[in-house]
Amino acid sequence: MKILDLIQGSEAWLKVRLSHFTASEAPAMMGASKYQSRDALLKMKATGISPEVCNQQQKIFDRGHAAEALARPIVEVMIGDDLYPITASLEVEGLQLLGSFDGLTMSEETGFEHKLLNAELVRQVNSGELEPHYFWQLEQLLLISRAKEIIFVTSDGTELNFKSMRYCPVAGRRDELIAGWKQFAKDLAEYVAPEAQAPKAVAEPVASLPAINYQIDLSNGISLRSNLDSFKAAAQVLVENSKVILVSDQDFEDAKARIKECEKAESNIKALIDRVLGELGDVDTFKTDLESIGGWIRQSRLNQDKQVKTRSTERKAEIINAGKALVSEHIDLINKNLAPVFLPNIAVDFDAAVFRKSSFENMQSGVNDAVAAFKIEANCIAAKIESNLELLRMIAADHMNLFADLQQVCLMDSEPLRAIALRRIEDAKQAEQERIQAAAQKIAADQLAKDKAEQERIANEQAEINRQAMASHAPAADEIVMRRSAMSSSVVQERPDHSEPTVGLTDYQRGIIAGIELAKNILIKNPTASHDDLFLIFGEFIEAKTEQLEAA
């Protein structure tokens, strides 16, 4: 905040106000002022011309300043601190903001704002709820000073008629205020002054139809001379004017005046026809011309009357439709930048904007305020969406598939959105880990089953090989067993008793030894014999020996 060395109300102070967006102008900028329209504020800022203050307004201002000065000591006692009237500025996002404080403490923590006592404001202060006409000014003062609170007072300067409340910043309003000034700055840069218009439309004087003059000449029969041709020409001009499409307030006022002139002319023509007929009897040509002119004038009146009634409704619709077109254009522009997210529906009550507006100028101003309010709200929402999209790009760039509800979550406040995003990412990572583990377990189980099947296949193949080998070696094995048995008997008989190797062994044990020796001898005679063959012969030998022993 920069404190300016200015006296409030001075020429220097007024000049600085023109180059800044002031706190007292904030309600008008937001379309909430009771005393100034947004269009009027735009015109004032664009042209630098402020409306003149009349004597009555100046008296009210003087009373307000006097009451403010008397109320300040009362507030100082209430808060236990001194208050100093100051003017301060602050640049916020490129906006030059200005605030004139009725009082601010040295610590800049508490401000003071005073309004002249009135019953409605007393009611609001007692309820603790101020309307936008007041709170937008307070929000800007708080923004500039970074104060914690503003003591808002309405009084006549006496303790008897003194009402106060503490106003603190309301969440969301500061952002809306800044967005409002941004939109206002944009509108101001694009401002084109409308054509100069009178403060209030007043019907221009309508050229009256000439009076019809006639003269009856009886000198040479009965003849009639009149200015009917000039009257007819004037009536035709009136008829042509009735065909003009009504647009402005001035057009409508002029049309109403022409309707009155037509009504007057119709009445005069009828009276004139009756008078001439009374003087001359049946004067067909004169009567026919007058009736024809009367018909034209009547048609002109009806056309004007119809236009006044129907075009009034049509013109109101044109103003509203133009406002709707601006809203649609702004929505399209924002949605193009926000894709794939888009603005939610924002209601704009144009009927309320033109309700009880007595002129089209006021209707247009009301619609302009409604469009501006919409743009401010839309820009605030768009800023939130953009901020949330940027947040998601930062923390969830690789997980955007988790936000099928992106349209909804982007409208949330940032902190809840951050929490939701982190939780979804964590859940997704956990689910992915579980999926990987499950996949690994399945792969391991599949491999185990595959290995088991392979082992069974190999075992079955080996069993088949053994079976086939047994079948091919069975005759040789029997011959070897018989020969070895004979050899074993002769060997035993030739050995002395003390050298008998199998003394004390069972027949089965001796058979095993014989089988081993048989295999040994086969290996000596046939070194290329495989171990599988030897084991097979050995097994067959033992089996045959066992059967011999069992049979014995």
How far apart CA 13 and CA 86 sit, in angstroms, is: 11
> How many residues make up the chain in this entry?
552
Of the candidates 162, 159, 149, the residue with the CA atom closest to the CA atom of residue 117: 162
52 three-class SS: coil
C-alpha dist (Å) from residue 156 to 114, 126, 471: 10, 16, 129
Integer CA distances (angstroms), 428 to 88, 396, 403, 406, 415, in order = 52, 11, 12, 16, 20
Across 60-74, 95-109, 144-158, 302-316, least confident range: 302-316
Q: Kind and range of the H or E element at 37?
A: none
Give the three-state DSSP class for 30.
coil
Q: Report how far residue 244's alpha carbon sits from residue 250's, in angstroms, rounded to the nearest whole number.
A: 12
Cβ(470)–Cβ(540) below 8 Å: yes
Where in the chain are the domains?
2-189, 200-412, 452-551
pLDDT at 468: 79
Strand-pair partners of 103: 112
Q: What is the pLDDT of residue 180?
A: 94
Residue 533: pLDDT above 60?
Answer: yes
The one-letter code for the residue type at 329 is E
Q: Note the pLDDT tens digit of each residue in 222-238.
A: 455 666 677 777 777 76
In this predicted structure, the answer to whether residue 503 has a pLDDT above a threshold of 70 is: no
Q: Which amino acid is present at 53?
A: V
Name the pLDDT band for 464 (thresholds 50, 70, 90): confident
* 3-class secondary-structure state, position 534: helix
Average pLDDT for the chain:
82
CB atoms within 10 A of CB 466: 14
Determine the Cα–Cα distance for residues 111 and 253; give it in Å rounded to an integer: 50
Q: Quote the CA–CA distance of 100 and 307 in Å, as a whole number.
A: 50
Share of the chain above pLDDT 90, in %: 48
Record the tokens describing residue 478, joined without a space.
Answer: 């029997």
Check if CATH label 3.90.320.10 holds for domain 2-189.
yes
Mean pLDDT, rounded, for 521-541: 68
Task: Compute the distance between CA of residue 87 and CA of residue 110 in angstroms, rounded to an integer.
Answer: 15
Q: Which two tokens stand for residue 507?
A: 């027949």
pLDDT tens digits along 3-44 = 999 888 888 988 899 899 999 999 999 999 999 999 999 999
Tens-place pLDDT, residues 134-152: 999 999 999 999 999 999 9
Position 274 pLDDT exceeds 70: no
Distance of CA 80 to the CA centre of its chain: 45
Of 42, 140, 50, 135, nearest to 371 (Cα)?
42
Q: Convert the pLDDT of each residue in 483-494 to its tens digit.
A: 545 444 443 444
Cβ-based neighbours of 506, under 8 Å, separated by 6 or more: none
Q: Mean pLDDT lowest for which of 377-381, 462-466, 542-546? A: 542-546
Give the pLDDT confidence score for residue 54 in this predicted structure.
83
**pLDDT tens, residue by residue, 507-523:** 667 767 777 777 677 66
Cis peptide before 51 (omega within 30 of 0): no
Least confident of 30-39, 60-69, 176-185, 514-523: 514-523
What's the rounded Cα separation, in Å, for the pair 143 and 173?
A: 10
Highest-confidence segment of 277-286, 361-370, 540-549: 361-370
Of the ranges 117-121, 255-259, 461-465, which one carries the lowest mean pLDDT score? 255-259
Mean pLDDT of 399-405: 91
Confidence of residue 191 (pLDDT cuts 50, 70, 90): confident
Distance CA 113, CA 125 (A): 13
| Whole-angstrom distance, CA of residue 19 vs CA of residue 533 | 113
Question: Rounded to whole angstroms, how far apart are CA atoms 480 and 493?
Answer: 20
Distance CA 485, CA 507 (A): 13
